[in-house]
Amino acid sequence: MALSDHFDLSLLLRKDEVGLEWLGREYTFGEIDTRSNRLARLLLQRGLTSGDRLCVYLANRIEMIDLYLACIKTGVIFVPINILYREREITHIIADAEPKALVATGGAWDPEDLTRESEGLDASRPHCTLDGDSPAAIVYTSGTTGVSKGAILTHNNFAANAINIVTCWQITSADRFLLPLPLFHVHALGNGLHCWLTAGCRMRLLERFEHQRAAAEFLDFQPTLFFGVPTIYVRLLDIAQETAKQMGEKMRLFVSGSAPLPAHVLEEFRSLYGHVILERYGMTETLMNMSNPYAGERRAGTVGLPLPGVSARIEAGEVYLKGPNVFPGYWRNPAATEAAFSDGWFKTGDIATCSPDGYFTLQGRRSDLIISGGFNIYPREIEELLLEQPGVGEVAVAAQPDRLKGEVPVAYIVAKGRLNIEQIEQVCRSQLASFKVPRAFVTVDALPRTALGKVQKHLLPKPATKRS
């Protein structure tokens, strides 16, 4: 079944119910359906056909939802780009995905212009037959080789994921769902948007999470369901006891994922809000894999148990996965796809242990991936940019623990001439997403290396700590 048939449970059967709140306006599921039908017709009119890619470089907004639905209604492959990415990062994705067009605010395909133009078009859904193995999206992950790879996610991947978590977390049309996460990543796209349209609940979409406005948003909307990353939960610990208690009153379920949730945050959150955060584990390539149980024990520091239909095993410390949620491969990259699988099992790169009663605990990564505020950073990408700068001889970028962001990147540089750190930092700011800009630049005489020449990042000196 294609996703649009699946979403008809809400788009058609609940067409008169309010489905979305965006910027203070309410939209029924019927309106969401017709907006995207019209936009689908516009995409076809502008020459896109099934299998073409459409890159979308937008922060959260209703047009992002319209565009996703228009894509799945026409077979066009949706390629979201992190809005924090800068030219260098965007150029790579566009060269790799070869889209027919790029939607960006103020660009040739501006989202508001598209909506305006589509308003005059036929509101009925265009005909399109797709099977479940058709790609619905290509989502770029930070690449271990310095450039990002496009993970192909099929209609079946998204459907399996949504049905699983709607069932496991008992999400129903009675829920009120507050979504602050960016739709350009799978946490909000694969879980948030798909669960919302599967369950047919009311969703208030925020442009982004702003900690100064969080309490007001909760008290006004009175959600029952909330998805966040650990940085958001750390921010929520700053809210006064009485307000936090009120915010927790109508809530049914707080979910955390995308980075480790420190056990003390779970504990402090429980005493402040009266809720035990449910932690789960997912990846761009696999959508959701594991979750703490909704009904059973939510064990701090663990990511719970494999979801129904997901097989997990630990091979030399690493989590291997199989299931209907696992992607078929990387876009136009058979070598990377082959390297990612072993006998049909996806090699996650995550190191874990499993308790006798089946709870998995993630303990680290095979690669030196840094996760900052729930955004992934591969040091290699920053190292390559730094090596292009005058005076930089050798470089290593490593994670430094951070109370709010979990981890932040720090650059260690061996000079081969005169170094202008201010200028280097400026280059990073202009060419990298802000979360990738090293928090500190430390000059060292030499990088600690193994006999084989591999940098031993754990032996790098700790920089003086700065506030986040």
**DSSP class of 320:** E
Within its chain, how far is the Cα of 99 from the centroid?
A: 21
Least CB distance to ligand AMP at residue 299 (A): 12
**Residue 209 binds which one of ligand AMP, ligand MLC, none, with CB within 5 to 8 A depending on kind?**
ligand MLC
Binding to ligand AMP in span 409-438, by CB under 6 A = none
Q: Pick from ligand AMP, ligand MLC, none: which does 291 bind, CB < 5 to 8 A by kind?
A: none
- Alpha-carbon gap, residue 10 to 212, rounded angstroms: 33
Spell out the SS3 assignment of 105-129. Answer: CCCCECHHHHHHHHCCCCCCCCCCC
Q: Do 194 and 165 form a contact (C-beta atoms < 8 A)?
A: no
CA nearest to 3, candidates 190, 233, 142: 190
Residue 191 is a binding residue for ligand AMP (CB under 6 A): no
- Chain-centroid distance, C-alpha 290: 16
Site string for ligand AMP, 354-383 (x = CB under 6 A): --------x--x-----x----x-------
Q: Among residues 4 and 231, whose Cβ is nearest to ligand AMP?
A: 231
C-alpha distances out from residue 216 to 251, 272, 325, Å? 15, 17, 36
Helix (H) or strand (E) holding 330: strand 329-330
Written as six digits, the tokens of 205 are 């979409």
* Alpha carbon distance 75, 136 (integer Å): 7
Give the footprint of ligand MLC on this chain (CB under 6 A). 59, 83-84, 181-182, 185-188, 208-209, 211, 229, 231-232, 257-258, 282-284, 373-375, 404, 434
Is 21 a residue that touches ligand AMP (CB under 6 A)?
no
Find the binder of ligand AMP among 76, 81, 159, 303 (CB under 6 A). Answer: 303
Q: Does residue 150 touch ligand AMP according to CB under 6 A? A: no
Listed in sequence order, the residues at least 6 apart from 87 whose beta carbon sits closer than 8 Å to its beta carbon are 431
Among ligand MLC, ligand AMP, none, the one that 303 touches (CB under a kind-dependent 5 to 8 A) is: ligand AMP
Partner whose footprint covers residue 83, from ligand MLC, ligand AMP, none (CB < 5 to 8 Å by kind): ligand MLC
CB of 11 to ligand MLC, least distance (A): 24
Q: Which does 10 bind (CB under 5 to 8 A by kind): ligand AMP, ligand MLC, none?
A: none
Which does residue 232 bind out of ligand MLC, ligand AMP, none, counting CB within 5 to 8 angstroms by kind?
A: ligand MLC
The number of beta carbons lying within 10 Å of the beta carbon of residue 380 is 18
CA angle, 210 as apex, 11 and 238 as ends, to 5°? Answer: 125
Could you say which of ligand MLC, ligand AMP, none residue 141 binds, taking C-beta under 5 to 8 angstroms by partner kind? Answer: ligand AMP
Q: How far is the CB of 405 from ligand AMP (least distance, A)?
A: 14
Q: How far is the CB of 53 from ligand AMP (least distance, A)?
A: 20
* H/E stretch holding 158: helix 155-168
**Other beta carbons less than 10 A from residue 178's beta carbon:** 25
Residue 362 binding result from ligand MLC, ligand AMP, none, given CB thresholds of 5 to 8 Å by partner type? ligand AMP
Binding-site residue total for ligand AMP (CB under 6 A)? 17
Q: Is 317 within 8 Å of 296 (Cβ atoms)?
A: no
Q: Nearest to ligand MLC by Cβ — which residue?
A: 373
Distance in Å, CB of 139 to ligand AMP, minimum: 8
- Contact call for residues 341 and 310 (beta carbons, < 8 A): no
Element of type H or E holding 427: helix 421-431
Q: Should residue 348 be labelled a site residue for ligand AMP when binding is judged by CB under 6 A? A: yes
The total of other beta-carbon atoms located within 10 Å of residue 362's CB is 19
310 binds, options ligand AMP, ligand MLC, none, Cβ within 5 to 8 A by partner type? none
User: Which residues bind to ligand AMP, rule: CB under 6 A?
Assistant: 141, 257-260, 279, 281-284, 303, 348, 350, 362, 365, 371, 376
